[in-house]
Amino acid sequence: MKAANASLARWGTTIFTTMSALAVEHGAINLGQGFPDEEGPEEVRRLAAATVLSGPNQYPPMRGLPELRQAVAGHDSRRYRLDLDPEREVLITSGATEALAASFFGLLEPGDEAVVIEPLYDSYLPIIERAGAVARIVRTTPPEWTLPRDALAAAFSPRTKLLVLNSPQNPSGKVFTADELRFISELLRTHDAYAVCDEVYEHLVFSPADHRPLITLAGMRERCLRIGSAGKTFSATGWKVGWACGAQPLIDAAARAHQFLTFTTPPNLQRAVATGLAAGDDGWFAALATNQQHKRDLLAAGLRRAGFTPLPAAGTFFLVADRRALGFSGDDGAFCRYLTTKAGVAAIPVSAFYCGDGPEGFIRFCFCKRDAVLEEAVGRLVKHFC
């Protein structure tokens, strides 16, 4: 039998799938894969359900329902003073994952280079590589996650087509500062490069941090594709409704790939998300951040009691903890399997977000769970380690 595609085969199964399966097998509390255990706004879910019954249930327009494209543009205008033409500058996709893939397939050519910053989300490298491009990886490491500016500048070359920027960043919780964004924008201008901005955690930013989309900086309007996800914003990760916004040539490029990847996204979910985005300013977005900030602090305090050293997290729903004081001799992968099977709490090794050997001693916990679940998880860890 002939071999399947080797470029994809070499990545194996994602760490999120692996750890969730292990958590189910061992009845562990799953603080690994990132998904909330509480539902998002009821009116949004009710509208989705009603629209399944009333329709439309047939193919929506390839670039997305007009009402959702308008809602995305309206949201970005209110929140970031970013003026987008909903007809030409917004593309609705099946999750941010598809928006990322459509951006990479739509922009990259064989021989191009893409600058990516570690730690990085697992879908970037396989698709960049499958698009024929070469990734130039710039490493940041815990506990500071400082952006090495010289290394970042050195990663750019005349072949650089784009940079991938994830802020707020999974798994570090880092929110890039205004100064870092300015530095990045200068590099993009100097090297005539684009940025694919993964901003799926834009509403999960904790005071005093502030999220500023790179596309709003001087000279960036024509260079950035800004990617969002209803899954994160409305606590509905299974819905897979996402979008990309940016200048028409970039959206046209992503749409050329989107039409052959999925073509469309379920219309009922698109309609519900449109309503949610229009109404979210009235409280849902702020409540989401306040609520998650409380959960972050609850879990951090509990982890400290169990002997971990939690690192600060300015955004996302993830917390990285230093586990070295616990004295386990294996690597982080082995530690996470041990934690899941023996202590009954699943987590993700931070090294999984690195290409090759990553930093050891750090694991990621997801805190978007009911308080009682977080308390039970902490109870299990304290009982096991103390």
Decide whether 35 or 176 has the Cβ nearer to ligand GLN.
Answer: 35
Decide whether 30 or 343 has the Cβ nearer to ligand PMP.
Answer: 30
Are the C-beta atoms of 167 and 211 separated by less than 8 Å? yes
Q: Establish if 229 lies at the interface with ligand PMP (CB under 6 A).
A: yes
- Residue 91: strand pairing partners: 244
Report the alpha-carbon distance of residue 37 to residue 46 in Å, rounded.
Answer: 18
Q: Please return the burial class of 188, using the count of CB atoms within 10 Å of its CB with bins 0-12, 13-18 and 19+.
A: buried
Q: What is the SS3 assignment for 318?
A: strand
Q: Establish if 16 lies at the interface with ligand GLN (CB under 6 A).
A: yes
Q: Establish if 121 lies at the interface with ligand PMP (CB under 6 A).
A: yes
Task: Give whole-number Cα distances, 222 to 71, 217, 233, in Å.
Answer: 21, 11, 25
Report the alpha-carbon distance of residue 215 to residue 195 in Å, rounded.
Answer: 9
Residues 170-209 that bind ligand GLN (CB under 6 A): 170
Candidates 133, 138, 145; CA nearest to 109 is: 133
Q: Which does 96 bind (CB under 5 to 8 A by kind): ligand GLN, ligand PMP, none?
A: ligand PMP
Q: Establish if 103 lies at the interface with ligand GLN (CB under 6 A).
A: no
Residues 158-217 that bind ligand PMP (CB under 6 A): 166, 170, 198, 200
Q: Which does 229 bind (CB under 5 to 8 A by kind): ligand GLN, ligand PMP, none?
A: ligand PMP
Q: Establish if 314 lies at the interface with ligand PMP (CB under 6 A).
A: no
Q: How far is the CB of 241 from ligand GLN (least distance, A)?
A: 15
Q: What is the SS3 assignment for 139?
A: strand
Are the C-beta atoms of 36 and 317 separated by less than 8 Å? yes
Task: Compute how many residues bind ligand PMP; rule: CB under 6 A.
Answer: 13
Decide whether 108 or 269 has the Cβ nearer to ligand PMP.
Answer: 269
Decide whether 107 or 204 has the Cβ nearer to ligand GLN.
Answer: 204
Q: Please return the burial class of 355, using the count of CB atoms within 10 Å of its CB with bins 0-12, 13-18 and 19+.
A: middle
Site stretch for ligand PMP (CB under 6 A), options 48-56, 89-97, 125-133, 269-277: 89-97
Report the alpha-carbon distance of residue 197 to residue 254 in Å, rounded.
Answer: 13
Q: How far is the CB of 40 from ligand GLN (least distance, A)?
A: 16
Element (H or E) spanning 257, and its range? helix 248-261
Q: Establish if 242 lies at the interface with ligand PMP (CB under 6 A).
A: yes
Site stretch for ligand PMP (CB under 6 A), options 102-110, 130-138, 236-244, 305-313: 236-244
Q: How far is the CB of 331 from ligand GLN (least distance, A)?
A: 20
Site stretch for ligand PMP (CB under 6 A), options 6-14, 95-103, 295-303, 327-335: 95-103
Decide whether 170 or 264 has the Cβ nearer to ligand GLN.
Answer: 170
Candidates 23, 43, 40, 42; CA nearest to 31 is: 23
- Name the token pair of 314: 């300015």
Decide whether 170 or 233 has the Cβ nearer to ligand GLN.
Answer: 170
Report the alpha-carbon distance of residue 341 to residue 329 in Å, rounded.
Answer: 16
Measured CA angle at 219 (ends 215, 220), to 5 deg: 20
Q: How far is the CB of 37 from ligand PMP (least distance, A)?
A: 16
Q: Establish if 97 lies at the interface with ligand PMP (CB under 6 A).
A: yes
Q: Establish if 313 lies at the interface with ligand PMP (CB under 6 A).
A: no
Q: Which does 33 bind (CB under 5 to 8 A by kind): ligand GLN, ligand PMP, none?
A: ligand GLN
Q: Establish if 33 lies at the interface with ligand GLN (CB under 6 A).
A: yes
**DSSP per residue, 70-130:** HHHHHHHHHHH-----TTTSEEEESHHHHHHHHHHHHH--TT-EEEEEES--TTHHHHHHH
Candidates 201, 260, 261; CA nearest to 230 is: 201
Report the alpha-carbon distance of residue 324 to residue 38 in Å, rounded.
Answer: 32
Decide whether 51 or 97 has the Cβ nearer to ligand PMP.
Answer: 97
Decide whether 272 or 350 has the Cβ nearer to ligand GLN.
Answer: 350
Residues that bind ligand PMP in the complex, under the rule CB under 6 A? 95-97, 121, 166, 170, 198, 200, 229, 231, 237, 240, 242
Residues that bind ligand GLN in the complex, under the rule CB under 6 A? 14, 16, 33-34, 170
